[in-house]
Copies of this chain bind each other. A is one copy, B any other.
Amino acid sequence: MAVGTFEQYKERLLKMKPNIYIGGEVVDRSDPRMEPGMYVMRQTFDCAHDDRYKEFCTATSHLTGETINRFTHIHHSREDLFNKQKMTKLLSHRVGGCIQRCMGIDALNALSVVTYEMDDALGTDFHKRFEKYLAWSQENDIVANCAQTDVKGDRLKRPSDQADPDMYLRVVETREDGIIVRGAKSCNSAAPYVDEIIVTPTRFMGPKDAAYAVSFAIPADWPGVKLAALPGVRHKRKHIDAPINKVGDMESLTIFDDVFIPNDRVFMNGQADPRCTPYAGFLALMFAHFHRHSYTGCKPATSEVIASQAALVAEYNGIAKADHVKGKLAHIIGLAELVYAAGVASAVKAEESPSGTWIPDEILTNAGRKLAGEEIYNENKILADLAGGLIATLPMEADYYQEKDGVGDLLHKYIMRNPEISAENQHRCFRMIEDQMISEFGGAMIVAGLHGGGSPQMEEVAMMSRYDLEELKGIAKYLAGIEKDIPIYDRAYVTPRKILEKFKKQVKVPV
């Protein structure tokens, strides 16, 4: 069985070289600020060995037939998509939000689709390289993230038109044994504590952008890789430790300072072969798509965590029976259900790609992610509303245990609301919500809830570029008497393959 353990993962990390820049220091993975993120990753290992979770947290490798961690699996059926969604949701509950490891599985699945298409159309061997890399990842239960978002410079200019050509990551040199890349990837969550960073393009590339059509995977401490990191931590506690308080992450601006990538880890190279160029946009879309489908698992979980906290604090505050409280809880719960439903229906409508990888329906996935992004601030507002101003003014934890002047006792006396709940538990409840909402990590997580996988604006663009409005208009034309017949409109959309055809035309590659 190829399901790894947290200890193996940690051991690998501790061997890595120090290339993490934090607040003026350069540190390695033994730095205590890594722990909150590693605590999150730990769940993905532990649960794969836990009888209650393993059913959906493991899978059978299509390469080897071995049992593997689902986070390294390629979806080969609707059932796989259901299970990925379920795993994402249930693990997210455990950490009160983002489970962080989905970037890896989403990048692998995207690469499985796109490299196959390249080999098939161009006679390259990217898919073969990829499958070798995948087999190694599965065998070692490798933790990967995905570096997609370039820093972008002037957003109105194409990559090759930027004043500084490095605003998008690119191949600066192709050698016999590999390539040299330069650029920086922003918002690169978890980079300081993953094994591997998988790099994909961030957008469609035009004919002049061939050097930007590049994808590869590399260890996170590889020479030339520099992680300018931002630790996302919650408040330190000494007395009432709790799962919520152990959770955190570390963000990174991941700089590729002329980094050499050996050939067996290169999965696309437009500089050497410009015919790859249209596949850059295709890969960008495919990663975004699989990632947004993961959001139909984690965002419902986030909503449920918030609803759960809101329901608990409403009970402690003694307002659980008020009509407006029920209405607000119902709103969050409804959102969780709808976003989850979008993922389920998206799997029901999924299609098998030529590579054998199953691709969920894009319109449904985007509709779900869009709703989640639009409502994340509102959900937080509801939680703050039901919790009350106390969550923003709660005295510090240590003072609840201050013996001087009886202050600790006074704080416990004055936190009492519900006489059937202990003061400590009432304190725990408010402390949790404070951690969730007022900490730097909490603040960052709300922004991530908006932008992660693409903001609602991006999902709108995705939906409108895929949706077949002309066919839709057929309904109105029929009803108005402009056309005689009505289309059987079970909603049409531009499938990934057609997108690829379109891209090929735009970069004038013979199809």
Contact = CB atoms under 8 A, between A and B. Distances in A.
Interface stretch (A69-77, A135-143, A279-287, A404-412): A404-412
B324 A242 contact: no
- For this complex, into which size category does the number of interface residues on chain A fall? 35 or more
A410 B257 contact: yes
A392 B428 contact: no
Contacts of A241: 481
A3 B6 CA distance: 62
Contacts of A188: 393
A457 B389 CA distance: 13
Given A348-B344, A464-B326, A451 B389 contact: yes
5 contacts: A186-B390, A334-B463, A341-B367, A381-B450, A429-B480
Given A311-B472, A348-B348, A474-B308, A187 B390 contact: yes
Given A414-B255, A432-B476, A450-B384, A399 B338 contact: no
Contacts of A114: none
Interface string A124-150: 000000000000000000000000010
B414 A253 contact: yes
Interface in A405-433: 405-407, 410-411, 413-419, 425, 428-429, 431-432
A384 B455 CA distance: 10
Chain A residues touching B, majority SS: helix
Interface string A299-326: 0000011011101100101110011101
A364 interface: yes
Nearest to A253: B395
A482 interface: yes
A342 B348 contact: no
B90 A251 contact: no
Contacts of A428: 480-482
Please state the number of chain copies in the assembly. Answer: 4
A472 B304 contact: yes
Given A334-B463, A455-B385, A228 B395 contact: yes
Contacts of A153: 416-417
A243 B451 contact: no
A311 B476 contact: yes
B166 A318 contact: no
Interface stretch (A59-67, A173-181, A351-359, A436-444): A436-444
A275 interface: no
Interface string A469-483: 100111111111110
Given A324-B457, A447-B437, A342 B338 contact: yes
For A323, A371, A406, the residue with the greatest tally of chain B CB atoms inside 10 Å of its CB is: A323
A494 interface: no
B167 A416 contact: yes
B244 A463 contact: no
A271 to B, nearest CB: 21
